[in-house]
Structure 1
């Protein structure tokens, strides 16, 4: 017997086994009415009511529903109310500007747009057939409790979500993740990191980001408690850990730094010692930071490597029994690596040093971009664009081959920023690169050649970008040059432009 895997399996089990248990503690300071404490039975009712509301709107099987929201119980429930009932959820980065959101809505063909109240004004001009501002008023319009929803048959190869990621082009690509991709990724995350119904999970990671790395599925299926954090803040994370009994969280290295900074000023023992485990991804923090997590916080540091295209888990690094006797500094040196392949994943490094992946969590393709899909999945391997090495089965990421900058856990396409700067009348040439930064890992730097007779200041060019792009994509610094060195064929070699800024570092990513 074979039954199709569906993301709805996770909520169905939670409702059946843990129906009376509080499943979600919503952010109390949501700009719209907070849902407060939501049991798994109520969460199941809300998901069905949302699906019935989409039925009433005439939104059929396979149609796309985009949502732009900070972390919220409404966003998390939509993973089931939309994807679990035959449609496709398109979670959108809430930091994007209206023009960027409009492109995603258009490219995905979304007929419904759900908008966070804080973004209602800025996204008012995004064209879409049905729009709802999340909150108490839209709840009455969007959720239909008076009818049973159509339970469309789901094939595990059906697309469940389309997650847009900054790529090597100026426009983001829609990553098609299937029910099978998401189901297996969730099970792998729960298995490798020892999740159970005793866990209390704090959503420090944006839920839109690769669907919260699969934790909204894994921990729901196991009956754990979700604590929604709307905006990341170091002291607030520690308060939630103390008040809610948090045991588990995920985040980028910048979140780790925020927590360590807050812990230094914390009055009394740091909460969560010998209880909290934290999964970090995006880029490995320095070994000294890993050691501080263990010694100053008393939390377990764990790491994954992955991409939106891999759902995201590819490799896992967690302290093994053999490392328990090692000094903290030596253990940190082992944990700084990206890790060993997750169960069922195959990882190799080709002759050019690029990391290739084969796994059940690899995307089906890029939405309506067959050429890009074929290029990424050529020869039956997913080409990550990252450079790395394998040693005793453990992967270390050493460089980034694609024109991607990862700052604070967010991907920035250098080409997209360059296109924006080229729109400035004073700019003749530009190259955008990532440079090391202690807080954010990397930040965006623009190397600019001005047109003859034109002038522009660093502040002016940064402001130009912030007016057109999400704030995190804008350069934090601009360096003016007389020219940019190119190859004989006129190509920029960005790895050479980056070299002086990374010269004293063993790895070319941070």
Structure 2
């Protein structure tokens, strides 16, 4: 078995280590964030002092937005398969702009695609518009999380329009945001995937080449060439989610005409006062309110209700107004019992909402 080395999670360091791994001259590595707390989680999950499992080029640590971070083993073949399938779907190789952290899978795969295309990636420093203007590739791509897209639609619209495609991942893209981007002439493509699938493997509802989708009682199963090899030093957990070549995700969805629609996580349906409440539906309804800029809805353990539905909202409306607004379209029993107004939702470096931080504030 080979050993694992830790490399700084900066774009230059990760690109250098990744290039060497992809051409066969380097050794497996794990990128480490500069933030001390995040670095400690990575080192714990990556366990560099322990023998490394076979079929691994990179170990990435999941963000831990809803649970314990895990070390995900990604092979050279999986990384390259994901990059090639992305280029095939988008219309061919191109130059990529990196506006994300390279120690999460979305950022790492921007670098992998750049290596595969043989073109230097452009690293976002401060100005998105200036970074976009410096690109020289015939085809121009980038990837970002929904929060970034929403921000750049307000501040850097012309730069967004200059890209042949912008892949949106890391979190579900709200329907109003999709509509805003389309109306503005921005080619934004929602992607579904995760670290375990080597980044996005379903674009605009359609699996990339080499990826198959199935459902098991509503749970999304994924099979294909981009899948991870397992969890670092967690064979029992690997066996739970990798079965007969299929990865059992924690997400629910349905297929219509071969197109996948993700409707939430397996644990996104909670029982509150004896009533099943679908949290993503409540969240989607809140985001339709004209004075709600952002929102997330979570279930909080409660002695009286079993689970209390709590909405964390960026916007002006108060609790009663939002409860009435939800009840206009959904059962009144689904309306959030508490509404916490915030200036902004706390985010992890991966671009996902820090659910654990929100829950800690209301328990």
- Give the TM-score, by structure 1 length: 0.51
Q: Which residue among 206, 209, 225 is the counterpart of 1:343?
A: 209
CA displacement at 1:394 relative to structure 2: 0.3
Q: Which residue among 39, 42, 45 is the counterpart of 1:101?
A: 39
CA displacement at 1:189 relative to structure 2: 1.2
CA displacement at 1:260 relative to structure 2: 1.1
1:477–1:261: structure 2 CA closer, same or farther, 3 Å change rule?
Answer: farther
Q: In the alignment, what sits opposite 2:48?
A: 110
1:309–1:189: structure 2 CA closer, same or farther, 3 Å change rule?
Answer: same
SS in structure 2 at match of 1:159: coil
Q: In the alignment, what sits opposite 1:162?
A: 59
**Does residue 72 of structure 2 align to residue 175 of structure 1?**
yes
- Give the TM-score, by structure 2 length: 0.70
Q: Which residue among 249, 255, 258 is the counterpart of 2:148?
A: 255
Q: Which residue among 122, 126, 129 is the counterpart of 1:227?
A: 122
SS in structure 2 at match of 1:475: helix
Q: In the alignment, what sits opposite 1:304?
A: 191
C-alpha distance in structure 2 between counterparts of 1:358 and 1:159, whole Å: 18
Correspondences of 1:208-357 after superposition (within 5 Å):
208-210=103-105, 212=107, 214-230=109-125, 236-244=127-135, 247-263=140-156, 270-271=158-159, 273=161, 275-296=163-184, 298-317=185-204, 339-350=205-216, 352-357=217-222
Q: In the alignment, what sits opposite 2:266?
A: 401
CA displacement at 1:367 relative to structure 2: 1.0
Q: In the alignment, what sits opposite 1:118?
A: none
SS in structure 1 at match of 2:121: strand
SS in structure 1 at match of 2:188: strand
CA displacement at 1:206 relative to structure 2: 1.9
Contact 1:248–1:277 (Cα < 8 Å) also in 2: yes
1:353–1:104: structure 2 CA closer, same or farther, 3 Å change rule?
Answer: same
Contact 2:45–2:61 (Cα < 8 Å) also in 1: no
Query: Which structure 2 residue ranges, 5 or more long, are not aligned?
Result: 270-278, 304-341
Contact 2:142–2:163 (Cα < 8 Å) also in 1: no
Contact 2:75–2:228 (Cα < 8 Å) also in 1: yes
Q: In the alignment, what sits opposite 1:90?
A: 30
C-alpha distance in structure 2 between counterparts of 1:90 and 1:356, whole Å: 27
Contact 1:387–1:397 (Cα < 8 Å) also in 2: yes
1:394–1:357: structure 2 CA closer, same or farther, 3 Å change rule?
Answer: same
C-alpha distance in structure 2 between counterparts of 1:108 and 1:271, whole Å: 37
CA displacement at 1:356 relative to structure 2: 0.5
Contact 2:254–2:260 (Cα < 8 Å) also in 1: yes
**Does residue 361 of structure 2 align to residue 474 of structure 1?**
no
1:211–1:396: structure 2 CA closer, same or farther, 3 Å change rule?
Answer: closer
C-alpha distance in structure 2 between counterparts of 1:275 and 1:171, whole Å: 36
RMSD: 3.7
Of the structure 1 ranges 373-382 and 236-245, higher mean CA displacement relative to structure 2 is found in 236-245
Q: Which residue among 204, 225, 228 is the counterpart of 1:363?
A: 228
Q: Which residue among 84, 94, 99 is the counterpart of 1:204?
A: 99
Q: Which residue among 50, 61, 67 is the counterpart of 2:7?
A: 67
C-alpha distance in structure 1 between counterparts of 2:220 and 2:188, whole Å: 24
C-alpha distance in structure 2 between counterparts of 1:195 and 1:204, whole Å: 21
CA displacement at 1:222 relative to structure 2: 1.8
1:479–1:278: structure 2 CA closer, same or farther, 3 Å change rule?
Answer: same
Name which one, 1 or 2, has greater alpha-carbon Rg: 1
Matched residue count: 297
CA displacement at 1:77 relative to structure 2: 1.3
